[in-house]
Amino acid sequence: MNHPTPDWHAAARAVKIDGRAVIGGQRVAAANGAAFVKTSPIDGRVLGEIARGGAADIDAAVAASRAAFADGRWAGKAPAARKKTLQRFAEKILSAKDELAVLETLDMGKPVQYSLAVDVAAAARTIAWYAEAVDKVYDEIAPTPASALALITREPMGVIGAVVPWNYPMIMAAWKLGPALAAGNSVVLKPSEKSPLTALRLAELALEAGLPAGVFNVVPGYGHEAGEALALHMDVDAIGFTGSTRVGRKMLEYAGRSNLKRVYNELGGKSAFVVFDDFADIERAAKTVAGSMFFNQGESCNAPSRVLVHARVAERFLEIVAAEAPKYAPGDPLSGHAEMGALVDEGQLRTVLGYIEAGRSEGAAVVAGGAAARTETGGYYVEPTVFAGVRNDMKIAREEIFGPVMSVIRFDSEAEAVHLANDSSYGLQASVWSDNINRAHRVARQLRAGTVHVNQYDEDDITVPFGGYKQSGNGRDKSLHAFDKYTELKTTWIRIDAARGA
C-alpha cells in the first residue's frame, strides 16, 4: 500500500522546535542564556529560538564527550553491540522521516519531497551502513620475521569535533557521525547556524535508540563562536569539517594554534562537465547537466557549474539546456512537487544575484533565467540561470557561486578541454562525455578531481569515497576509507622467543 502524501503545510504548522543544545544527554540552553532567532528562507516565517553556543558550551560538550570516551561506555562495547545501537538509531531516523523532512525544508529551503527521499533516506542509510560495517572489518598482522609478532590495530581517536554546512545538513552530519561513532569515538557536532534543526533532533533520536549520554552532543551556534571554540579546543582529537575553502583554511590554522588535532576538510568545488562532439546523445548530456546543476538550488559542492562543450555541438547543447532550465523554476518547497526551493537566506540570494551581475558585466550572455523569483513570498528564490559565452578566466567560472548558475564554455580540442577542466583551484568532481572509449579513459585519468564520472553524473553510493583534490580538501567521507579519519593506527610488537631445548 502506498504511503499517503502528507499535507506538508499542516505538518510544518504542527512542528515543534526546541533550539536548545544537547550536552551529556540533556537539552540545555546556552550557559550565558544567549539565543538567536531562526527564520525560514521559504517565506521568512519565524521558526524559533536557537541556543547561541559559545566557548563555555563547547567546553561542557567536550568534557561530556571525553568522560563518555574515557569510561568506555561506548568505545568499550563490542563492535556487534555498537552495531545494534546504531542500527536502532537508523531505524529511529526513518520512523521520524516526515518530521525530519519538514524541519530540513523549513530550515534551509529545499523541496520537501527531496528532503524526504534524498536527505532523510541517505542519513539513515549512512548510519546503518557504518553500523553494519563495524563488526566486519579486521585489523592486520605484519609479515615480520618469526622472532616477533607485529599487530597493526585501529583504535578510536577519542573526541571528534564535526562542523558541517547548511546545504545537506543531515547528510553531512551523518557522513561524520556514521564512521566516527561506529569506530567508538564520541562526537561534538556544530551544525550551521543556518540549519541547526535536524542535528538537534538527530541527537534526541540517538538517545532514544540507546546511544549512551555524552557520546553524541550537539552545540548550535555561530561559526566564529561555537565553531572556532571547538576547532581550537585542546581536548578535541580531530575535526571533521565540511564547508567553504575559506573556513577550511581557518580550521588548519586553529589546529596549528592549539593541539595539532587532525583536520579533515571537505570543501568547495567548481566541477567541470566536459562534453565531446563524439558523444552522440547530446540531449541526455544536456538534460543531465541541468538536473545535476539545479538540484538543491545549485547549492551542492559537486554541482557541475563549469560546462565545457566542444564548439561543434555547443549551439545544440545550449538550446537544450536553455529549454530545460525553466523546468527547474523554483516553487513552494512545501507543495511536495516543486523542483527547486529557496536559497538558504537573504545573504546567499544577494551573493548569487551579484555573481549573475558579474557574469553580465564581464560579457557572458544569459540564455536562461538571470533574476530573483517568488519575491512576493518573503522567501529567497532565484531562477535557474544559464550563461553562454563564458571564458574560464571570468569570475563566474573561477569562483564557487553556490546557487543555480551554470557557465557554458566552448573548446576546440581534447588538450584544450583537459587544460580548462584542470585550470581551477578546486578539484572535487569532473565528468567526461565521449563515445570513444580511449578518449573517455585518457581524459578521465588526466582530470585532477576526487571523483570523475564518465557519460553520467548522478551515480552515488555510500560504498564509494567522496572528497577532493587541491583546494577542495583532504580526506574522504563515505566508504570504509572514512574510518581512516577517525581511528589511530597502532603497532604493537610482541617478542616470540625461539624454542629452548627440543
User: Site residues (CB under 6 A) for ligand NAD?
Assistant: 163-167, 172, 190, 192-193, 223-224, 227-228, 231, 242-244, 247, 250, 266-269, 301, 400, 402, 428, 466, 468, 472-473
CB of 67 within 8 A of CB of 73? no
Catalytic residue among 225, 301, 400, 414: 301
Question: Which cell goes with 190?
Answer: 556544530
CA distance 149 to 436: 51
Kindly tell me which of 326 and 354 has the beta carbon lying closer to ligand NAD: 354
Kindly tell me which of 279 and 483 has the beta carbon lying closer to ligand NAD: 483
CB of 397 within 8 A of CB of 249? no
Closest CA to 429 of 455, 457, 387: 457
CB of 95 within 8 A of CB of 121? no
Which backbone phi and psi does 31 adopt, to 5 degrees? -55, -35
b/e map of 353-384 (b: 16 or more CB within 10 Å)?
bebbeebeebebebbbbbebbbeeeebbbbbb
Q: How far is the CB of 474 from ligand NAD (least distance, A)?
A: 10
Q: How far is the CB of 238 from ligand NAD (least distance, A)?
A: 14
Kindly tell me which of 172 and 308 has the beta carbon lying closer to ligand NAD: 172
For 352, 399, 400, the CA distances from 424, given in Å and listed in that order, are 20, 9, 10
Kindly tell me which of 166 and 486 has the beta carbon lying closer to ligand NAD: 166
Q: How far is the CB of 312 from ligand NAD (least distance, A)?
A: 32
Catalytic residue among 266, 299, 324, 383: 266
Kindly tell me which of 266 and 339 has the beta carbon lying closer to ligand NAD: 266
SS3 letters across 22-52: EECCEEECCCCCCEEEEECCCCCCEEEEEEC
Q: How far is the CB of 49 from ligand NAD (least distance, A)?
A: 17
CB of 274 within 8 A of CB of 317? no
Kindly tell me which of 207 and 255 has the beta carbon lying closer to ligand NAD: 255
Provide the total of helices (H) and of strands (E) in the chain, helices listed first: 16, 23
Count Cβ atoms within 10 A of the Cβ of residue 408 and give its class: 0-12 exposed, 13-18 middle, 19 or more buried.
buried
Kindly tell me which of 103 and 172 has the beta carbon lying closer to ligand NAD: 172
Q: How far is the CB of 351 from ligand NAD (least distance, A)?
A: 10
- Is residue 395 left, alpha or beta, with left meaning phi > 0 and alpha meaning psi from -120 to 50? alpha
| 357 counts as catalytic | no
Q: How far is the CB of 227 from ligand NAD (least distance, A)?
A: 2
Kindly tell me which of 6 and 268 has the beta carbon lying closer to ligand NAD: 268
CA distance 463 to 479: 4
Give the count of alpha carbons within 13 A of 488, CB side only: 14
The Cβ of residue 442 has, within 10 Å, a number of other Cβ atoms equal to 14
Which backbone phi and psi does 303 adopt, to 5 degrees? -55, 135
Q: How far is the CB of 419 from ligand NAD (least distance, A)?
A: 23
CB of 160 within 8 A of CB of 180? yes
CA distance 158 to 108: 31
Kindly tell me which of 309 and 430 has the beta carbon lying closer to ligand NAD: 430
Kindly tell me which of 23 and 170 has the beta carbon lying closer to ligand NAD: 170
CB of 409 within 8 A of CB of 309? yes
Q: How far is the CB of 364 from ligand NAD (least distance, A)?
A: 22
Q: How far is the CB of 402 from ligand NAD (least distance, A)?
A: 6
CA distance 68 to 142: 32
Looking at residue 428, the DSSP 8-state letter turns out to be S
| 416 counts as catalytic | no
SS3 letters across 458-492: CCCCCCCCECCEECCECCCECCHHHHHHHEEEEEE
Residue 224 makes CB contacts below 8 A (sequence gap 6+) with none
Alpha helix stretches (DSSP H) within 362-413: 395-398
Closest CA to 433 of 301, 268, 293, 307: 307
Catalytic residues: 266, 301
